[in-house]
Chain A
Amino acid sequence: GENVEQHPSTLSVQEGDSAVIKCTYSDSASNYFPWYKQELGKGPQLIIDIRSNVGEKKDQRIAVTLNKTAKHFSLHITETQPEDSAVYFCSYDKIIFGKGTRLHILP
C-alpha cells in the first residue's frame, strides 16, 4: 500500500537560513503532492502543492521539488522567519501523510 516517509522529524535553523524537508513515497499512482503547515491547536493548512507534470514549483520563499523517478519530493523554505515555526507534513494526495517535521526557527 501507499507509504510516505518524512525526514527529519525535528529541524532547528537560524532565522534567515534555509530549511529543507524531504519525503519519499512507495506508490506511483498519485500525481498530487501537497505540503501542509500545522500550528498548535489548528488544523493543517496547505502551503504549497505540486503535480507530477512539473518538477518544481515556487511561491515566494517556499518551493517544492518532485522527482517521480526516485519517488521523492522536498520542501524548501528560504529566508526563514519566526512565524515559520510549526509542524510541516508532506502528503500523498491527501490520503497518506508523513509523520511531520517540527521546525524551530532560532533567533
Chain B
Amino acid sequence: EAGVAQSPRYKIIEKRQSVAFWCNPISGHATLYWYQQILGQGPKLLIQFQNNGVVDDSQLPKDRFSAERLKGVDSTLKIQPAKLEDSAVYLCASSYGARETEAFFGQGTRLTVV
C-alpha cells in the first residue's frame, strides 16, 4: 500500500514570496490533515478536511495560509506572503475516518524562509 506522498521535500524562499505544498493521501482515506511542525515542537494541526469539506481550520492563519482539497483526494497548502516564522516542516496525514482512527503521515516538506 502506497503511503502519503508529499512534495517538494525541501523549499527555500525569501520572505514575502509565496509557496505551495502538495499532498496525495492514501487511497480511500476520507480525512486529510495539514500540520505545521516547528523545530523541537510537536505537530500543530492547521486544517482538517473530510472528503473535500473543511472540518477544522481554527488554527490556520487565514490572512496568509490557504488550503484546498480537490475532488476529495489531493490537497494543496499555500502560504502567501511567507514570513520568517513560517520556517517549519509541513506534514500531511490521512486517515480512513475522522475521529479515533489511525493517521498516516507523509515525510513532510521542510520550508526555510530567509
Contacts and interface: CB of A to CB of B under 8 A. Distances in A.
Contacts of A51: 100
A26 B102 CA distance: 22
B100 A100 contact: no
Contact of A43 (B56, B99, B102, B108): B108
Interface string A36-65: 100001111110010100000000000000
B91 interface: yes
Contacts of A34: 102-103
A95 interface: yes
Contact of A46 (B40, B43, B103): B103
Contact of B106 (A6, A30, A31, A43): A43
B41 A93 contact: no
A31 B4 CA distance: 25
B48 to A, nearest CB: 8
Interface string A64-107: 00000000000000000000000001010111111110000000
A100 B43 CA distance: 9
Contacts of B4: 43
B61 interface: no
B49 interface: no
Interface of A: 6, 30-32, 34, 36, 41-46, 49, 51, 89, 91, 93-100
20 contacts: A31-B99, A31-B100, A32-B99, A36-B105, A43-B4, A43-B91, A43-B93, A43-B106, A43-B108, A46-B104, A49-B102, A89-B43, A93-B100, A94-B45, A94-B95, A94-B103, A97-B42, A97-B43, A99-B40, A99-B41
Interface of B: 4, 33, 40-45, 56, 91, 93, 95, 99-108
